[in-house]
Structure 1
């Protein structure tokens, strides 16, 4: 498929994991990509993987409006347009019990995960209106159900509410906003916890945790013309974990 032929995407936090898989998928389907990450070297490495002629790596901190504006300007300056914004930056940065979380830590979590996505949308919107483009935000099942990490969950739920409201507001201008809500995904963030992913796999009716490519496939669908009449929705990509905690055992006796 070449669903992104002639299109330009900007992907945040694309140096590894889900972001990197999204870049590779969009590039494989013919799109040009601006690869952003906190580390310039990893952003450039992923851009090289995607093809130097059709990808640009940049150091971008989504908590900085100047960085975000520079990334959008670079996308339009290099490739002439912007069709797709993928908000992937974020993370669980609060480790205290929620009753002990300081106001400062709440602000840090929300600024990275929720306000960071809002900054990117604000910067990209004028160009997305011109191309009748769209935004796909990577939220989490934590924003849909109680899996712990209260501050992170609140930020992820906020992304969903924000996207729904943007969809209603900018739908008349042809701009779509959708969300992908992953379950547990095998990313380098788990490398320091050997064996944890194997334990978590038992929670999932499909018997495994997700791979970054599972999420990239969903992003590619929602970000492409195949989803031209879909906006304001959240697509859980989560191996069935939201169906409940006790899947039926159908294994042979």
Structure 2
């Protein structure tokens, strides 16, 4: 059964490239009005144009998730453009890798601002209205390294581990009101953002049973599933889309 999002508005953060862009495309293909969000207006305009040229409905909202005021304005603009937000996909994230001893405080603060604080306050701004309507879906994008220790991933992994716990907490808070909150945990995935990882990305992939790097569309399919009515009975889960890494 193909998910149908006709008449629904979806806000997808970090959707001008990579996994987020593919999520926006798949949601729009299935009828959603997609609000594309990111820092780069040029890439945002290109993403919106690609969706519209394929018959979908999309608008772009520029936002810097490291800035609390920009996060609040993003929620306001999303409601203005969409009328309401039915689906929130917290996809945007920073993923630096460095030994703990070499992490600057500013980098630590920025990662937690984007990966934890921004999703928290977007949910605070948008989930209560979903609860009042008795319907809504929130999908957070985490990572497989939120679940096991990987040298160099202390800041990134711990920030996403926090988001995984928030996923379960929000499911407990909002589930009875009809708002489903779940997460997808990707493994190594080839995107513009991971291009700088070079061969280390392929090295991570060799630790998975699938033994290859994932594709954005494969991760996006899991996110779209969790946002859909097909997943109506699924609350508070973290779905691994990681080539089986967490299964071994």
Question: Which residue in the other structure is 1:175 paired with?
Answer: 179
Note if contact 1:85-1:135 (Cα within 8 Å) is conserved in structure 2. Answer: yes
Alignment map for 1:118-197 (pairs within 5 Å): 118-131=120-133, 132-148=135-151, 149-197=153-201
Distance 1:151 1:89, change over 3 A: same
Q: Which moved more, 1:60-69 or 1:168-177?
A: 60-69
**1:60 maps onto 2:57 in alignment:** no
What's the secondary structure of 1:203's corresponding residue?
coil
Distance 1:28 1:190, change over 3 A: same
Distance 1:202 1:60, change over 3 A: same
Note if contact 2:115-2:160 (Cα within 8 Å) is conserved in structure 1. Answer: yes
1:104 Cα deviation (Å)?
4.1
RMSD over aligned CA atoms reads 1.9
Note if contact 1:179-1:235 (Cα within 8 Å) is conserved in structure 2. Answer: yes
Mind listing any 5+ residue stretches in structure 2 that lack a counterpart?
Answer: none
User: Which residue of 229, 240, 243 maps to 1:239?
Assistant: 243
Q: Distance in 2 between matches of 1:15 and 1:200?
A: 25
- TM-score w.r.t. structure 2 length? 0.91
Question: Which residue in the other structure is 2:213 paired with?
Answer: 209
Q: Distance in 1 between matches of 2:3 and 2:194?
A: 32
Structure 1 segments of 4 or more deviating over 4 A?
none
How many residues are paired up? Answer: 243
Mind listing any 5+ residue stretches in structure 1 that lack a counterpart?
Answer: 245-253
What's the secondary structure of 1:231's corresponding residue?
coil
Q: Distance in 1 between matches of 2:3 and 2:157?
A: 35
Q: Distance in 2 between matches of 1:196 and 1:102?
A: 22
1:153 Cα deviation (Å)?
0.8
